[in-house]
Amino acid sequence: MIRKIFAAGVLLAVMQGCGSDSDSGMPETVAKGPGAALKCTSSGKNAWDTYGAAAFVAVNESIVSLVLADTSGELGDSFSKIGSGNPPSTADDAPTFKGKLAAFLVYAYGGPTSIEYTDGKTYTGPQDMALAHEGLAITTDQYNYFIMNQVVPALTMNGVPDEDVSSCFAPVVVDKDFVASIVGK
């Protein structure tokens, strides 16, 4: 149960990264994400309460690395430069991008609605998935590939056991309404 929730949160975070920056207009009144009620097999608690901030940061970073290595190494290289301050205009882009992913991930799996990421800035978790993916025309195959080849490996390589992937991470990302909010927009 916990595993399912975690996977879902990760997916939400990454998918949000592919959309427009549309979170600013979201209300702060949403208390819990879709995975908050899921229970990890290993702990009986939700993913956020089971794994905590450090693990969520690690998974977030892993997803970004896997996606960039897999689909656009060149852009991956650019992301490794962004944040270096060279050129100066790139100083905050990568951390900001990752911060938004992380905020969505944390929120989706039972954490707070906003977080302070590793760059010291505050990011908001609740985001409009459909709006974020509008115009991207993501297919079911692309979605499945992303979950199978980037999200699940990011979880397992950071120590999340299979049982928790299934229990507290997966249900969010395989939920048909959630999938429908991303695919075919």
Closest distance of CB 126 from other proteins, Å: 19
- Closer CB to other proteins, residue 112 or residue 136? 136
Closest distance of CB 95 from other proteins, Å: 13
- Closer CB to other proteins, residue 122 or residue 144? 144
Take residue 109 and report the two structure tokens written for it: 């799996």
Coil, strand or helix at 169: strand
175 secondary structure, DSSP code: -
- The answer to whether 20 and 165 have CB atoms below 8 angstroms apart is no
Place of tokens 């609605």: 113
154 burial class (0-12, 13-18, 19+ CB within 10 angstroms)?
buried
Closest distance of CB 61 from other proteins, Å: 14
- Closer CB to other proteins, residue 78 or residue 112? 78
Closest distance of CB 48 from other proteins, Å: 18
CA distances from 133 to 14, 58, 87, 181, 185 (A): 11, 24, 29, 8, 6
- Closer CB to other proteins, residue 116 or residue 175? 175
Residues contributing to the site for other proteins (CB under 8 A)? 3-4, 7, 14, 17-21, 67-79, 81-82, 87, 89-90, 93, 97, 135-139, 141-142, 144-145, 147-149, 152, 162-163, 165-167, 169-171, 173-174, 176
- Closer CB to other proteins, residue 108 or residue 152? 152
CA distances from 42 to 2, 118, 126, 166 (A): 7, 27, 27, 11
Closest distance of CB 28 from other proteins, Å: 23
Other C-beta atoms lying within 10 Å of the C-beta of residue 35: 31
